[in-house]
């Protein structure tokens, strides 16, 4: 889905964060669980397309899973759309773990940042941190509603700061690195889950700079396998809350094959959902 260049960018962020962690420790026990796996994902959609069924297997065995979502994934749409996408994530996590869909949202203080944290009311092994940075769009140019700000522009130095969509925080590149460092420290994760890829096929720039995700690999999930069925079911549980996403596997296939959809859906997570659903991603 993306180039090796974006992986290097992300590794640079992690390396910088590791240095910061040793110099600026924060308070402990701010998460409901620690250890386990820490997932970084660019948009709410991405974790179901590119980091599953690995995610399913960890939730199913009640492993501590902390997920950090960099952007709102709102595709430049104002209103409650981005919160609906967050609720879709939570509903899909509940389905994968076999729990009810009762989640609670609180404010999480890490360093100088106030973040939105969603935790399950009963299953304390899963928690989602929403950074709510603006969706940059496929080319990373940003949307007018968010003052054309994007992660790509921040990394390239085209802008000095980026503001969250809820207006609660503004980050420089350095302060965003510091935030990632603090999350790494507080989560005490055994595994940091970031997908690698070796292809130069261009796509959404948020994912280039938030992490690394694959696309152009041969399908390797058997359509009759349990992992394929679980991945598809979890994705469409999320999609119930995303009105701009295809709502069935057949519909996703239609979008992939119909060139007209390129004019209707500029975000590639919609266009290539069927391709991603056919792949098995185990990450470490």
pLDDT, tens digit, for every residue of 85-95? 999 999 999 99
Q: Is position 196 within any domain? A: yes
pTM recorded for the entire structure: 0.80
CATH number reported for the structural domain that contains residue 87 in this entry = 3.40.50
pLDDT digits (tens, 9 = 90+) for 127-140: 999 999 999 988 88
Does residue 254 surpass a pLDDT of 90?
no
Is there a domain that residue 173 lies in?
yes
CA torsion through residues 182, 183, 189, 193, sign: negative
What radius of gyration do the chain's Cα atoms show?
18
In a domain, residue 213? The reply is: yes
Contacts of 152 (CB under 8 A, 6+ apart): 136, 140, 141, 158, 205, 206, 208, 209
Kindly give, in sequence order, each residue whose CB lies less than 8 Å from that of residue 160, ignoring residues fewer than 6 positions away.
Answer: 172
Task: Please check the confidence at residue 25 and state whether its pLDDT lies above 50.
Answer: no
In this structure, of 60-64, 76-80, 158-162, 254-258, the range with the lowest mean pLDDT score is: 254-258
In whole angstroms, what is the distance from residue 248 CA to residue 250 CA? 5
In a domain, 90, yes or no: yes
Q: Is 166 domain-assigned?
A: yes
Range of the domain at 245: 4-277
Q: How many domains does the chain have?
A: 1
CB neighbour class for 45 (10 Å; exposed up to 12, middle 13-18, buried from 19): buried
| Element containing residue 182 per DSSP (H, E) | helix 173-187
Residue with tokens 């992490």: 211
CA 271 to chain centre: 17
- Domain membership flag for residue 195: yes
Residue-wise pLDDT for 156-171, tens only, equals 999 999 999 999 999 9
Flag whether 282 is in a domain. no
Residue 262 resides in a domain: yes
């Amino acid at each position: 889905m993306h180039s090796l260049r974006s992986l290097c960018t992300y590794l640079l962020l992690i390396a910088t964060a590791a240095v910061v962690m040793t110099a600026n420790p924060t308070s402990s026990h701010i998460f409901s669980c620690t250890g386990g796996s820490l997932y970084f994902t660019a948009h709410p959609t991405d974790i179901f397309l590119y980091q599953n069924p690995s995610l399913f297997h960890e939730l199913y065995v009640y492993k501590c899973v902390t997920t950090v979502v960099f952007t709102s994934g709102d595709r430049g749409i104002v209103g409650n759309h981005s919160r609906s996408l967050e609720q879709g994530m939570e509903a899909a996590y509940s389905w994968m773990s076999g729990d009810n869909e009762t989640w609670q949202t609180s404010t999480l203080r890490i360093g100088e940042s106030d973040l939105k944290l969603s935790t399950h009311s009963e299953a304390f092994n899963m928690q989602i941190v929403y950074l709510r940075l603006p969706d940059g769009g496929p080319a990373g140019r940003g949307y007018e509603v968010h003052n054309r700000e994007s992660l790509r522009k921040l990394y390239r130095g085209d802008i000095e700061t980026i503001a969250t969509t809820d207006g609660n925080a503004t980050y420089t590149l350095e302060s965003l690195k510091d935030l990632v460092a603090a999350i790494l420290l507080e989560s005490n994760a055994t595994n940091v889950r970031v997908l690698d890829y070796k292809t130069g096929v261009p796509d959404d720039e948020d994912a280039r700079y938030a992490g690394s995700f694959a696309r152009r690999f041969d399908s390797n999930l058997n359509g009759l396998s349990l992992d394929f069925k679980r991945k598809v079911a979890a994705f469409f549980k999320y999609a119930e809350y995303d009105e701009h996403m295809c709502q069935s596997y057949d519909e996703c296939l239609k979008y992939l094959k119909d060139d007209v959809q390129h004019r209707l859906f500029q975000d590639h997570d919609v266009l290539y959902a069927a391709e991603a659903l056919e792949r098995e991603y185990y990450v470490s």
